[in-house]
């Protein structure tokens, strides 16, 4: 008896779900302008209506007074809906046959009359037949749900992209956005260079203004590719979140406030800030300044995300991305400058030696900073001072730096 109960329950559940999803698909095809929340509630109500045997076998004249009758007539002309409904009625018929209750004969008669009106014989005669009926219904249900999910994704993608990118960027707009990134790189070069020398307690020495970009680029070569890779990872997550928000609104449900990506970002941020907490309680740790600089950039980006770009720029989302990317670029170059200044204070990992006309400069006492068109710049680690040498006075160089 337990086995039969399980078979009946599963067959009932799958066939009812198939009827609901089939009706929902029908509703979405014929009235796509309605929200999915409304479609779901209407489908549930009408699924109950057409699966009511007493209603199905009523005389046509009695059903004419029903406001839903025209819609139901249209639904029952759909082969997929008729098949799903027959499956529901078949499962009930088998249950009544094996339950052998007092009212079973009357119910079986009504079910057979309803299937006759639908012009379909019963699809199963015994509980064992229900096993294959359930399997076929389950396959059809999965396929139908997959089709609906694909349609949802396609619609959400169209809505999101048409909202975020209302038209293709023109050449002039591309030049404007490129100019923002270029300007950010120039600012980042200045930030990198001044950060290096300020942390070493000095003004910028031995570099002309034209050397700033070259000096910064030599130490930030992978910054832009890494940021572009990060954008490649983050943008799909951002767009997916917008699509989920659209579908949540359509279904009348509450969107998840945080995604797995958000959770990972907050965990990483907490881990990075551990040195800050150590510093606050008095533990010696020089890395806290790096973390504070990172936090400052992050807070700046969070503030920029609140800016109403869509009210100012026609291509607001593209501008939004470029400005955040530019802020990240400047922040990353500033943090790299801070880290490079710390490296200059440490013993070089490679050995090198410059020989000049009057003396020699080696990695044992100095850190190499920059080689320009006019000067070579070295940092004396012990004295904390910079040494400038004329490029033309180099006699020999050995090693690698």
Please check the confidence at residue 69 and state whether its pLDDT lies above 80.
no
For residues 182-206, average pLDDT: 91
* pLDDT at position 263: 67
Helix (H) or strand (E) holding 398: strand 394-399
Across the beta sheet with 366-371, what order do the strands follow? Answer: 366-371, 375-380, 385-390
Give me 87's structure tokens: 């499956």
The lowest-confidence range among 68-72, 198-202, 377-381 is 68-72
Is 293 in contact with 275 (CB distance < 8 Å)?
Answer: no
Cα 199 to Cα 289: distance, rounded to the nearest angstrom: 11
| Contact present, 177 and 169 (Cβ < 8 Å) | yes
Phi, psi values for residue 370, rounded to 5°: -165, 145
Counting residues of the chain whose pLDDT is more than 70, the rounded percentage is 86
Is 70 exceeded by the pLDDT of residue 278?
A: no
Residue 261 binned pLDDT confidence (cut-offs 50, 70, 90): low
- Per-residue pLDDT at 257: 58
Condensed to tens digits (0 to 9), the pLDDT of residues 365-381 reads: 889 998 888 888 999 88
Q: Smallest Cα–Cα separation from 199: which of 339, 320, 97?
A: 339
273 neighbors 295 (Cβ within 8 angstroms): yes
Burial 309-322 (b: 16+ CB within 10 A, else e): beeeeebbbbbbbb
What's the burial of 218, exposed, middle or buried (CB within 10 Å: 0-12/13-18/19+)? exposed
Strand bridging mode 366-371 / 375-380: antiparallel
Q: What pLDDT does residue 98 have?
A: 79
Q: How far apart are CA 240 and CA 224, in angstroms?
A: 24
**What are the structural domain ranges in the chain?**
2-157, 172-344, 352-399
pTM of the model: 0.65
- Average pLDDT of the residues in 283-312: 70
Highest mean pLDDT among 146-160, 236-250, 305-319: 146-160
Distance (Å, rounded) from C-alpha 381 to C-alpha 386? 9
Inform me whether the pLDDT recorded for 282 exceeds 60.
no
Mean pLDDT lowest for which of 55-59, 234-238, 271-275, 278-282?
278-282
Whole-number pLDDT of residue 215: 92
Nearest C-alpha neighbor of 162 from the set 253, 255, 254, 246:
246
pLDDT band at 20 (very low <50, low <70, confident <90, very high): very high
Task: Give Cβ neighbours of residue 312 (< 8 Å, ≥ 6 apart).
Answer: none
Whole-number pLDDT of residue 216: 92
**Is the model's pLDDT at 283 over the cut of 60?**
no
pLDDT for 353 beyond 80? yes
At 191, is the pLDDT very low, low, confident or very high (cuts 50, 70, 90)?
very high
Mean pLDDT of the chain: 81
């Amino acid at each position: 008896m337990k086995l039969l109960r399980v078979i009946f329950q599963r067959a009932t559940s799958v066939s009812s779900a198939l009827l609901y999803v089939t009706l929902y698909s029908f509703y979405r095809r014929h009235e796509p302008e309605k929200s999915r929340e409304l479609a779901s509630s209407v489908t549930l109500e009408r699924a109950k209506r057409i699966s009511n045997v007493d209603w199905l076998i009523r005389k046509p004249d009695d059903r004419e007074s029903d406001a839903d009758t025209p819609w139901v007539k249209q639904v029952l002309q759909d082969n997929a809906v008729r098949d799903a409904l027959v499956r529901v009625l078949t499962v009930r018929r088998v249950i009544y046959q094996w339950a052998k209750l007092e009212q079973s004969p009357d119910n079986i008669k009504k079910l057979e009359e309803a299937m006759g009106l639908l012009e379909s014989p019963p699809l199963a005669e015994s509980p064992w037949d229900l096993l294959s009926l359930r399997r076929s219904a389950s396959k059809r249900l999965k396929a139908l749900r997959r089709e609906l999910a694909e349609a949802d994704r396609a619609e959400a993608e169209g809505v999101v992209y048409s909202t975020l990118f209302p038209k293709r960027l023109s050449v002039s707009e591309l030049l404007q956005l490129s100019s923002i990134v270029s300007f950010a790189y120039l600012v980042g070069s200045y930030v990198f260079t001044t950060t290096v020398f300020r942390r070493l307690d000095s003004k910028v020495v031995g570099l002309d203004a034209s050397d700033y970009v070259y000096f910064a680029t030599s130490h930030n070569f992978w910054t832009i590719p890494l940021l572009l890779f990060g954008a490649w990872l983050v943008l799909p997550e951002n767009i997916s979140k917008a699509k989920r928000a659209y579908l949540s609104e359509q279904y009348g449900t509450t969107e998840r406030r945080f995604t797995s990506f958000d959770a990972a970002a907050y965990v990483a941020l907490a881990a990075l800030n551990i040195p800050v907490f150590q510093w606050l309680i008095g533990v010696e740790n020089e890395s806290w300044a790096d973390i504070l600089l990172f936090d400052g950039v992050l807070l700046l980006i969070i503030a920029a995300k609140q800016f109403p770009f869509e009210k100012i720029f026609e291509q607001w989302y593209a501008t939004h991305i470029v400005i955040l990317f530019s802020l990240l670029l400047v922040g990353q170059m500033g943090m790299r400058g801070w880290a490079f200044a710390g490296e200059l204070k440490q013993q070089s990992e490679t050995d090198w030696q410059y020989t000049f006309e009057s003396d020699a400069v080696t990695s044992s006492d100095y850190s190499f900073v920059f080689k320009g068109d006019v000067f070579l710049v070295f940092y004396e680690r012990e004295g904390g001072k910079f040494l400038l040498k004329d490029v033309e006075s180099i006699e020999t160089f050995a090693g690698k730096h």
